[in-house]
Chain A
Amino acid sequence: MLAQQMRRYLYYGMLLLIFLFGVWAERSGFLEEMLEYEEDVVYLVVEHLKLTAVSGGLAVLIGVPLGIVLSRPRFSHVAENAMQVLNIGTTVPTLALLALSMSLLGIGNSPAILGLLVATLLPIVRNTYTGLLSVPVHLKEAASGMGMLPRQMLWQVELPNALYVIMAGIRTALAINVGTAPLAFLIGGTSLGELIFTGIAVDEQAMMLAGAIPTALLAVTVDFVLGALTFVLVSKGVNPLRQRPAH
Chain B
Amino acid sequence: MIRLDNLTKIFDTPDGTITAADHISMEVPAGEICVLLGPSGCGKTTTLKMINRIIPATSGRVFIDGQDTTAMDTVDLRRNIGYVIQQIGLFPNMTIEENISVVPRLLGWQPERYKARAKELLDMVALDPATFLKRYPNELSGGQQQRVGVIRALAADPPVMLMDEPFGAIDPINREVIQDEFLKMQAELNKTIMFVSHDIDEAVKMGDKIAIFRTGKLEQYASPDDILAHPASDFIAGFVGSDRTLKRLQLVTAAQVMGPVPTFVTPQQSLSEALAIMERFEHRSITLANERREPIGIITRDIAWNHQGLCGEHYEGLHGIARQSDDLRTVVAQMFTADSSWLPVVDASGRLVGDITQRGITHHLGATYRAKG
Residues of A within 8 A of B (CB): 136, 138-139, 141-149, 152, 156-157, 160-161, 163, 235-238, 243-244, 246-247
User: Which listed residue, B79, B93, B140, B162, touches A147 by the CB 8 Å rule?
Assistant: B79
Contact of B102 among A146, A149, A160, A237 (CB under 8 A): A146
Q: Pick the residue among B78, B86, B138 that contacts A146 (CB under 8 A).
A: B78
Q: Are B78 and A161 in contact (CB under 8 A)?
A: no
Q: Other CB < 8 Å A-B pairs besides A145-B54, A163-B93, A246-B138, 11 of them?
A: A142-B89, A142-B91, A145-B78, A145-B85, A146-B78, A147-B103, A156-B94, A156-B102, A160-B91, A160-B93, A246-B139
Q: Say yes or no for B349: interface residue by CB 8 A criterion.
A: no
Q: Is B95 an interface residue (CB 8 A)?
A: yes
CB-based contact A147/B89 at 8 Å: no
Residues in A neighbouring B8, C-beta threshold 8 A? none
Q: Would you give the 0/1 interface string for B102-145, flagging 1 where the beta carbon is closer than 8 Å to chain A?
A: 11001000000000000000000000000000001111110000
A143 and B54 alpha carbons, distance in the complex (Å): 11
**Looking at the complex, which one of B76, B83, B86, B93 makes contact with A157 (CB distance below 8 Å)?**
B93
Q: How long is the Cα–Cα vector from A139 to B90 in the complex, in angstroms?
A: 7
A144-B78 contact given A161-B93, A235-B93, A238-B93, CB 8 Å threshold: yes
- Say if the beta carbon of B241 comes within 8 Å of chain A: no
**Would you call A244 and B139 a contact (CB within 8 A)?**
yes
Q: For the complex, is B317 an interface residue (Cβ under 8 Å from A)? A: no
Inside 8 A of B94's CB, which chain A residues have their CB?
156, 160, 235, 237
Total contacting residues, chain B, CB less than 8 A:
28
B75–A149 CB distance below 8 A: yes
Which residues of A sit under 8 angstroms from B79, Cβ to Cβ? Answer: 146-147
CB distance B89 to A141 under 8 Å?
Answer: yes
- Distance in Å from the Cβ of B245 to the closest Cβ of chain A? 38
Q: Give the residues in chain B near A163, CB-CB below 8 Å.
A: 93
Known contacts A139-B91, A152-B106; A147/B137 CB under 8 A: no
- With A152-B106, A236-B136, A237-B136 in contact, do A138 and B89 touch (Cβ < 8 Å)? yes
Q: Which residue of A lies closest to B140 (CB)?
A: A246
Q: Which B residues from 161 to 216 make CB contacts under 8 A with A?
A: 162
Complex formed: what's the CA distance from A6 to B93 in Å? 34
Could you tell me the distance between the alpha carbons of A98 and B86 in the complex, rounded to whole angstroms? Answer: 52
Is the CB–CB distance between B103 and A237 below 8 Å?
A: no
CA distance A246 to B86 in the complex (A): 20
Cross-chain pairs A/B with CB under 8 angstroms, 8 sampled: A138-B86, A138-B87, A141-B85, A143-B89, A145-B83, A148-B106, A235-B93, A237-B92
Residues of A within 8 A of B77 (CB): 147
Q: Is B300 an interface residue (CB 8 A)?
A: no
Task: State whether A161 touches B91 (Cβ < 8 A).
Answer: yes
Cα separation A136 to B92 with both chains bound (whole Å): 11
Residues on B with beta carbons closer than 8 Å to the beta carbon of A235: 92-94, 136
| CB-nearest residue of chain A to B89 | A142
Among A139, A145, A157, A160, residue most surrounded by chain B Cβ atoms (within 10 Å): A145
Nearest chain B CB to A189 CB, angstrom units: 39
Shortest Cβ distance from residue A147 to the other chain B in the assembled complex, whole angstroms: 4
B92 touches A238 (CB 8 A): yes
Whether the Cβ atoms of B106 and A142 lie closer than 8 Å is no
Query: B285 contacts the other chain (Cβ, under 8 Å)?
Result: no
B52 in contact (CB, < 8 A):
yes
What is the CA–CA distance of A161 and B89 in the complex, to the nearest angstrom?
A: 13
Q: How far is the CA of A225 from the CA of B238 in the complex (A)?
A: 64
**Which B41-92 residues have a C-beta within 8 angstroms of A?**
52, 54, 75-79, 83, 85-87, 89-92
Contact check, A141 vs B92: say whether CB atoms are below 8 A apart.
no
Cβ of B102: which chain A residues have Cβ within 8 Å of it? 146, 148, 156
CB of B93 within 8 A of CB of A142, answer no
Residues of B281-307 whose CB lies within 8 A of A: none
For residue A231, give the distance in angstroms from its CB to the closest CB of chain B.
15
Closest partner residue, chain A, to B82 (CB atom)? A146
